A and B are shown apart, each in its own frame.
Chain A
Amino acid sequence: MKKKTDIICRAVDVKKTYWRGKVAVEALRGVSFDIKRNAYISIMGPSGSGKSTLVHILSCLDTPTSGEYYLENALVSKYSDEELAKVRNIFFGFIFQSFSLLPRLSALDNVALPLIYRSISKHERIAKAKEIIENVGLADRMLHRPNELSGGECQRVAIARALVNDPKVIFADEPTGNLDSKTGAEIMEIFDHLVDEGNTVVMVTHDVNVAAHARRTVKLKDGLIAND
């Protein structure tokens, strides 16, 4: 396995302040953070430590209050909503704790969803989605809707959806949180495999066993990095 050292994402002194009514909540108080190509990172920390906020900013779902965020040397922290949508579409794949599949679409259509927003023809979308869904071992289930699938199958559909765009970074928010330990272990195997293939994975987790899969573990506390 060859080791690449080039940096995909770089956050510099990122701060994020929320206003809850009149109370300011400082979720991040100056975090600097790099993601290198083919990294396998887990982000840990107690609730309220700012780990979700950090992942939201890293994945361009949110913008920092101050500080800079670069994506392959482009300053994206000042991008507009429309530009951020495009960045999310092209650069990132998302896997959420609660699977977050669209209930009225088949597994296949769920996987193809990100491609709709890239002006790719329907024919190509379906071909690409089929290829990916076969890779996660759901070829025979792809026309089922999410409520006809088990939790593990749903999470595999979600992984397929995250991969369909050939993302630079895959973000996973508590990927095993809603699964039993056996299914969780299966999902973690998939992640390990993805990283072996050269993908970059960043996950948020409470679970020390899950975090142990990662090569780098970042611990957050009170909006600051406590341990890297």
Chain B
Amino acid sequence: MLGIIIGVTTVIAILSLIEGLNRTVAEQVKSIGSDLIFLQKFSWVSTGHRDLDKLAGRPDLLPDDAEAITKLSSVEIAIPQTSRQLQILKYKDNEVSNSSVAGSDENYAWVNNYIVESGRDFSRDDVLHRRAVGIIGSYIATNLFPDETAVGKDLHLNGHRIKIIGVFKEKGTFLGNSLDDFILIPYTVFEKFFPRPRGTLWSRVYGGYSIGIKAKDGMKIEETTDQVRELMRRRHGLGFDKEDDFELNTQQILMDLYQSITNVGFIAIVAIAAISLVVGGIGIMNIMLVSVAERTREIGIRKAVGASNNNILAQFLIESIVLALVGGLIGIVFGMLLAWLISAVSPLKASVSFWMILLGFGFSASVGIFFGIYPARRAASLNPIEALRYE
């Protein structure tokens, strides 16, 4: 019984946590946008050791590349984007730390699903004329300007003055990171204010531009990816025998990675559950064998007054199923409690669905049948005369 309780508890708790995690991750990853491709020097997922030297040697990706990619038939738009961490951002007595500054063009907001809530978005002119203007995320707006409107104020970034022209609507978090904790400025301004520190490997790999590419509506993402790959190989002059010197990242590769991780987890639970259910099943078989032995006389009496072998078989089988189901029910309750407890004290979210409860019942019922059949058959096959004599 304990084995069944533990088995079902584990299954329900872990399945509901995985399910909750699946939903969160799927939501988060979808928030990147299923039609977005990121052209970068590095891959989001890498197998094994990442060879930074090799990555650093790759050619930089440039705003010109974005322009060329935009012209492709399967591409809606491509934008250059880059960012830098800021130590501290102050306004009067208020300050925020660890915000970032992003540089891009006037299409950044709609490509990345940001909405300008107050003020205005960039214009093409702002970018071309290197105007020192910026749009801030809602996190910065509420923390630096709690009591006043942010639009129209000046901020100092690394000693450069930036005029706030707009505020983005709140977008929430992605894998635990705030998406509203940044200031967006034209990339032309970014290049002037935040020149790239040359030399460090890290900066050469991660410090430059990524190109955000939005595929045309109704276009298969693979098709767009192929077109971009072909174009970039041509632009970098790669022969057919050379491998790509850039990476094309999509939300799909994140999902694939996540799936492969949870699949391993899933197999692990199935194994744990299977073992404890077998242990529980043997326990039930034991209980039932004892019960059959103790009730030999009862079986004799029942047979004498007309119970057939099948009657006796059914009686003991039902008993073992009920036993297993009670264990399963307790396990389901414990599992749900455990999942609830974990999601209460940790950022993991649990989501119990109906099919898990059915699965829990299904598991325990089959254990009851499988391990109950032997004791029940033994009871059914007792000779009535010997059973009656049994004391």
Contacts and interface: CB of A to CB of B under 8 A. Distances in A.
Nearest to A93: B305
B309 interface: yes
Interface in B295-321: 297-298, 300-311
Given A61-B384, A100-B388, A88 B301 contact: no
B13 to A, nearest CB: 37
B385 interface: yes
Interface in B351-391: 384-385, 388
A94 B304 contact: yes
Instruction: Name, among B298, B300, B301, the residue most crowded by chain A CB atoms within 10 Å (CB to CB).
Output: B301
B308 A82 contact: yes
Contact of B308 (A90, A100, A117): A117
Interface residues of A, number: 22
Contacts of B298: 102
Interface in B112-156: none
A81 interface: yes
A86 to B, nearest CB: 7
Contacts of A28: none
Contact of A61 (B307, B308, B309, B385): B385
B377 to A, nearest CB: 13
Contacts of B384: 61
Nearest to A102: B298
Interface string A20-64: 000000000000000000000000000000000000100001100
Interface residues of B, number: 17
Contact of B306 (A56, A102, A118): A118
B385 A100 contact: no
B305 to A, nearest CB: 4
Interface string A116-153: 11100000000000000000000000000000000000
Contact of A85 (B297, B308, B385, B388): B308
B308 A86 contact: yes
B305 A117 contact: yes
A90 B305 CA distance: 9
A85 B301 contact: no
Interface in A89-104: 89-90, 94, 96, 100-102
Given A56-B385, A100-B388, A86 B306 contact: yes
Contacts of A96: 388
Given A117-B305, A117-B307, 9 more contacts: A61-B303, A82-B310, A85-B303, A86-B308, A89-B307, A94-B305, A114-B306, A116-B307, A161-B305
8 contacts: A61-B303, A61-B384, A85-B307, A86-B306, A88-B304, A100-B300, A113-B302, A114-B306
